[in-house]
Structure 1
């Protein structure tokens, strides 16, 4: 599955990083504690969080994530979008809560690393 497929299937909004929409998604991870995400999320994951600050992009680059989804109607600030754009990290938003989206992605076969 590609990031583009997730965008289309779940109605996610692309905030930044359109150049990365063809990245392969192999896993999913849901969490907001950055150190936990760094320690446990796998490469090529789609990471679901409620955070919208610049550090989420740094974590996504460090762990080589396919994309970051900001859930619960939260939106990234301009600086975060600019950083995601520069790094080619798809930054997506979802109006529903993280649990709901994580459950749907798990149902698609995206398990934990």
Structure 2
């Protein structure tokens, strides 16, 4: 499954346009503590968080995550979006909370 397919099926808004939408999604990870994500998320995961600062892009790049979903319509800083585009990391936004997003991803066959 690709980031684009998840975006379409979950009705997510892309803040980074078509950037990285062809990336393969292998699983999902939910956490808001960056150091914990660095220690436990896996390559290809879509990361669900409410964190919006530019450091999330550094973590996603380091781990080669497929994308980041920002839950609950949290406002994303402009620097974060610029860095995401530069690094090729799709940043998607949902009005749903992390639990509901995860529930929909599991129904689609994703999960670790």
TM bucket, shorter chain: over 0.9
Shift of 1:37: 0.6
Structure 1 residue 19 displacement after superposition:
2.4
Indicate conservation of the 8 Å contact 1:24/1:66, yes or no: yes
Partner of 1:60: 60
Please list, as runs of the form range in 1=range in 2, the aligned pairs for 1:25-104 lying within 5 A after superposition. 25-104=25-104
Q: Structure 2 CA distance, aligned partners of 1:19 and 1:98?
A: 23
Q: Does the residue aligned with 2:46 lie in a helix, a strand or coil?
A: strand
Please, what TM-score do these two structures have when normalized by structure 2? 0.96
TM-score, normalised by the number of residues in structure 1: 0.95
Figure out how many residues of one structure are paired with residues of the other and give that number.
112
Q: Which runs of 4+ in 1 moved over 6 A?
A: none
How far is the alpha carbon of 1:43 from its aligned partner? 0.3
SS of 1:16's partner is coil
2:106 matched residue in structure 1? 106
Q: Separation in 1 of the partners of 2:17 and 2:55?
A: 15
Gaps of 5+ in 2: none
CA deviations on 1:9-47 (whole Å, 9 max, x unpaired) are 011000016220000000000110111111111100000
Question: 2-side partners of 1:19 and 1:91: how far apart?
Answer: 9
Rounded to whole Å, the distance in 2 between the matches of 1:16 and 1:84 is 7
- RMSD between aligned residues: 0.9
2:37 and 2:31 mapped to 1: Cα distance? 6
Quote the Cα distance in structure 2 between the aligned partners of 1:60 and 1:84.
9
